[in-house]
Amino acid sequence: MSKLYFTYSAMNAGKSAILLQAAHNYGECGMSVMLWTSGHHASDPDARMGEIESRIGLRAPAHIFRAETDMLDAIARRKAEGPLNAVFVDEAQFLSKDHVWQLARVGDDLGIPVLCYGLRTDFQGELFEGAAELLAIADDLREARTICHCGRKATMNLRQDSAGGAVSEGEQVGVAKSDYVSLCRVHWRERLDLMRVD
């Protein structure tokens, strides 16, 4: 049975770079892959293709998933056209619960490994829907690590305003990646002023 993998982390851990390197390795071995990314940042709401881009400049074209996308059907149709050795999903935190189960069936029923990469929690410390479902049902969980400015492992994502102040309310999605900083839980709480006990 092929597995459903979830590699998660805080911001700035290099998840997209890891994904693109792994996809490149498949290609170097003569294998075929299908890449997916979220439509949340697509400028054209009807675009079917987007791009996975890492902070260090690696990039590759990718299919876009949106709420209405039937990923199982799309992947099955691609497999019918010729060999498909793996599926890679960037920004997996934006998957819906249904998407995650579709991807599980890609592994279970189509025999194709699915490797998902994404954030675990949002800036308020809440699980994203896709991350929650992946943490619940993925066969293999991996953590990509990054560090806080203090040297501890960063596990939290802090949203900042243009002046560098912490933001504790607002939309979960649709914010520029540059508005975030990765922190350990202690410094995340400190920045949000949650350490005071009344």
Dihedral (CA of 44, 134, 160, 170) sign? positive
What percent of the chain has a predicted confidence (pLDDT) above 90? 70
Provide the pLDDT for residue 39: 86
The CATH number corresponding to 4-144 among 3.30.450.20, 2.30.38.10, 3.40.50.300, 2.60.40.4070 equals 3.40.50.300
Tens of pLDDT, residue by residue over 109-164, are: 999 999 999 999 999 899 999 999 999 999 999 999 999 999 999 999 998 887 77
Residue 188 has pLDDT above 70, yes or no: yes
Mean pLDDT of the chain: 90
Enter the pTM of the model.
Answer: 0.89
13 burial class (0-12, 13-18, 19+ CB within 10 angstroms)? buried
Q: Please choose, from the candidates 159, 173, 164, the residue with its C-alpha nearest in 3D space to the C-alpha of residue 130.
A: 173
Query: Is there a catalytic annotation at residue 91?
Result: yes
Catalytic residue of the set 91, 126, 129, 169:
91
Q: Please choose, from the candidates 91, 77, 106, the residue with its C-alpha nearest in 3D space to the C-alpha of residue 1.
A: 106
Q: Please choose, from the candidates 84, 83, 15, 90, the residue with its C-alpha nearest in 3D space to the C-alpha of residue 55.
A: 15
Tens of pLDDT, residue by residue over 133-142, are: 999 999 999 9
Question: How is the chain split into domains, by residue range?
Answer: 4-144
Higher pLDDT: 12 or 32? It is: 32
Tens of pLDDT, residue by residue over 71-92, are: 999 999 999 999 999 999 999 9
Angstrom distance (rounded) from CA 106 to CA 113: 7
